[in-house]
Structure 1
Amino acid sequence: MDRAEAFSTFSECVAEVLDIDTSEVVPDARWREDLDADSLAVVEITLALNDAFAIKLPDVEPEKLTTVGQAFDLVAALVGVDN
């Protein structure tokens, strides 16, 4: 899996949980301000990503991952895809 494929899977998971179009899931999008993701949605997204990538995302302070890109970088590192 390359980075583009990983981001595609990532964005599909996020879009499904938030009931939005995948085109809205861009690296610069902010979770709360742009995507209206509350804390429950973040938990649901985490579970969906764990399943989709067969990983276990660590507990992270929400304020440290404010954008989609920051969260994707964490997932990409766990999956082992290059920047």
Structure 2
Amino acid sequence: MTRDELAAGLAEVLGTVAGIDRAAVAPGKSFAEDLGIDSLTMVEVVVAAEDRFGVLVPDDEWARFTTVDDALRFLAQSAVAPPWTPPRTR
């Protein structure tokens, strides 16, 4: 996925879950200060983003997301990495 596709998908998630105008979502925007997302809503956003993008966001990672760009960087890195496959046992 391109960064623009990730940004559009995240804007869609924020619009659906938090009622944020998609046009207001920009990389430099703060989730709390600019977009008014509290910690409970952020949990809902993360769960919806996990479903939308097929990734798992560990608690210690999403707690560091202060801006939209933080989330986009994580999603971009996660989208590039191949899915983990457990080693085969004999």
TM-score (norm 1): 0.86
Percentage identity across paired residues of the two chains: 35
Kindly provide the amino acid, as one letter, of the partner of residue 79 in structure 1. A
Q: Does 1:3 align with 2:14?
A: no
Unaligned runs of 5+ in 2: 82-90
Kindly provide the amino acid, as one letter, of the partner of residue 13 in structure 2. C
* TM superposition shift of 1:74: 0.7
Work out which of the two has the higher radius of gyration on C-alpha atoms and give 1 or 2: 2
Deviation readout 1:22-45 (Å, 9 max, x if unpaired): 011111111111111001110000
Deviation readout 1:1-58 (Å, 9 max, x if unpaired): 2221121111111121110210111111111111110011100000000000111011
Q: Which has the higher contact order (CA 8 A, sep 6+)?
A: 1
Distance 2:15 2:26 in 1: 11
Unaligned runs of 5+ in 1: none
Q: Which runs of 4+ in 1 moved over 6 A?
A: none
TM-score (norm 2): 0.80
Distance 1:15 1:29 in 2: 14
Over aligned residue pairs, what C-alpha RMSD do you find? 1.6
Distance 1:3 1:71 in 2: 11
Structure-2 residue corresponding to 1:40? 40
